[in-house]
Structure 1
Amino acid sequence: MRHTLPIAPQFYVTAPQPCPYLEGRMERKLFTALQGDNAEQLNNSLSQQGFRRSQNVLYRPSCAECSACLSARINVAQFKITRSQKRTMKRNAHLNRRATSPWATEDQFALFRRYLDTRHADGGMADMDVFEFAAMIEETPIRSRVVEYVDRDTGGLTAASLTDVLDDGLSMVYSFYAPDLPQQSLGTHMILDHIDIAREAGLPYVYLGYWVPGSSKMGYKAGFSGLEIYHGRKWQPMTDPAAFASAAKTLTADPIAEQVANIQLPDRRITKS
């Protein structure tokens, strides 16, 4: 006799802690483990519902009195490059793209440390050592790549992005770059190049993580045309960033049980004899 058994992921909530984006707010996350034979299917499904991957965990903000963190992605077909962005691409024409399997290197860690020490010295990753960095890069049950940007003249690693390949796009899980080259706008360059990669691969979206109205750290994402925001349980075009500013105001969030109940899970079934 054969039986088909549903396998549903279990969801948990983190304890509240200070928000890294908005002063005076408390952060809380809803998360589930990413493991097993159906990990890639789950990652695809939940990414389309505003979740993000961190190693073997999928998470989404679930703050009790705030919904300012809005998942953002670029609709590649709707994207139109600006003059400023064209200048950024031209300034970085000396960088060669090199996509590799998710394997951590000494050059990556050295660049990562320089980036953290300069840009995020008080952030949650500030104390990350080489072993934790290797785990961040290598511990993935899904299809991932490290996209490196190497100076054609010196051979030096200038920027890198840990990128997941989803069914419907590329997800930039974590990016870092040389902090002493602000004039090159390396973060913007990597996003523009990922739009090119997605277009060449026939993938419709580039997932950028969270856009937070009122946060200077996340404001740059609103500068890309074709941006879509996951809000009200659906993706919406961001035609005017100010229209979403109200999402950063204090409000009462749905109960956790209701949030979990509204998550659309993929058809995750196994057959046993």
Structure 2
Amino acid sequence: MNTQTTPSPQFYLTAPATCPYLPGQMERKVFTHLVGPRAAEMNDLLTQGGFRRSQNIAYRPACETCRACVSVRILAEDFQPTRTMRRILSTNSDVISTIYPAQPSTEQFSLFRHYLDDRHQQGGMSDMSALDYAIMVEDTHVNTRLIEYRLRQPGDGIGERPQGELLAVALTDLMSDGLSMVYSFFNTDLAKRSLGTFMILDHVRRTRALGLPHVYLGYWVHGSPKMNYKTRFQPQEHLTARGWERFNPAADE
């Protein structure tokens, strides 16, 4: 693969494939490579323009007959957790989150495999190996971090790394205007903890602490029940043909 940088990115279009979210639909994506010294800058610009990152690729839907995929970002400063979210924060008060360089571990991969086997047996990632996971984490030319979520143990905060049970992991890009949640996974046996929601709430907290405005959640797919959770984090903006606009949940009902 030619990874030499050019003055402007070159974009490519994928062949049609079955949509993983909406039955009867076909998806296509436009993509470009994120490599070289301007990769972080390009990642910022493209994410703000509705792209998502996967390894050293930035992509966005370019479907011919469907516009259901909508880029979503939480307005961190104005965000207020709901009663249910406050309950989730309380339930997970014994969890400590720590940010690290993007370096994979066997412990992370074990949790990742458990997550895939339980939630995504038929997905495109279902047969990923330890090497595939390592590439997913490490193959990046942008400012990427791993955030681990572990049960708090006595002495945490004294040593360099918490030693409690690993419950969840988030692969996150640090951007000029916030945090972008690239991929996250968790122990699906702990449903009462709502770890997926908890990780998003933690990203809002971290974004506010950095004094930055946005948490990017990727795509909300209108009509896909598995994506409905993304609209619970209010206020948020959706990328429309007119640019980023505040989303009104009542108007969508």
Q: Same fold (TM over 0.5)?
A: yes
Amino acid at match of 2:32: T
User: SS in structure 1 opposite 2:40?
Assistant: helix
1:222 and 1:241 in contact (8 A); partners too:
no
User: SS in structure 2 opposite 1:217?
Assistant: helix
1:11 and 1:32 in contact (8 A); partners too:
yes
Q: Judging changes above 3 Å, is the alpha-carbon distance between structure 1 residues 28 and 87 closer, same or farther for their aligned structure 2 residues? A: same
Counterpart in the other structure of 1:266: none
- Please list the CA deviations of residues 35-77 of structure 1 after superposition, one character each: whole Å capped at 9, or x if unmatched: 1111111101111000010000000001010010001010112
- Which aligned pairs between 1:45-84 and structure 2 lie closer than 5 A? 45-84=45-84
Counterpart in the other structure of 1:230: 239
Query: What's the CA shift for 1:216?
Result: 1.4
Aligned counterparts of 1:100 and 1:204: Cα–Cα separation in 2: 22
User: SS in structure 1 opposite 2:171?
Assistant: strand
Aligned counterparts of 2:77 and 2:98: Cα–Cα separation in 1: 24
- Which aligned pairs between 1:97-108 and structure 2 lie closer than 5 A? 97-108=97-108
Aligned counterparts of 1:149 and 1:204: Cα–Cα separation in 2: 23
User: SS in structure 2 opposite 1:81?
Assistant: coil
Is residue 2:222 matched to residue 1:194?
no
Query: What's the CA shift for 1:240?
Result: 2.1
Query: What's the CA shift for 1:242?
Result: 4.7
Query: What's the CA shift for 1:80?
Result: 1.0
- Please list the CA deviations of residues 205-242 of structure 1 after superposition, one character each: whole Å capped at 9, or x if unmatched: 00001001111111101111111111115111111265
Moved more, 146-155 or 18-27: 146-155
Is residue 2:183 matched to residue 1:168?
no
- Please list the CA deviations of residues 93-133 of structure 1 after superposition, one character each: whole Å capped at 9, or x if unmatched: 11111111000000110000000000111111001111010
Gaps of 5+ in 2: 1-5, 154-162
Aligned counterparts of 2:165 and 2:77: Cα–Cα separation in 1: 33
Counterpart in the other structure of 1:132: 132
Aligned counterparts of 1:36 and 1:137: Cα–Cα separation in 2: 17
Counterpart in the other structure of 2:20: 20
Structure 1 length normalisation: TM-score? Answer: 0.85
Amino acid at match of 1:166: M
Paired positions, count: 240
Is residue 2:156 matched to residue 1:156?
no
Larger Rg: 1
Aligned counterparts of 2:240 and 2:187: Cα–Cα separation in 1: 33
1:96 and 1:152 in contact (8 A); partners too:
yes
Query: What's the CA shift for 1:23?
Result: 0.9
User: SS in structure 2 opposite 1:8?
Assistant: coil
Aligned counterparts of 2:121 and 2:91: Cα–Cα separation in 1: 27
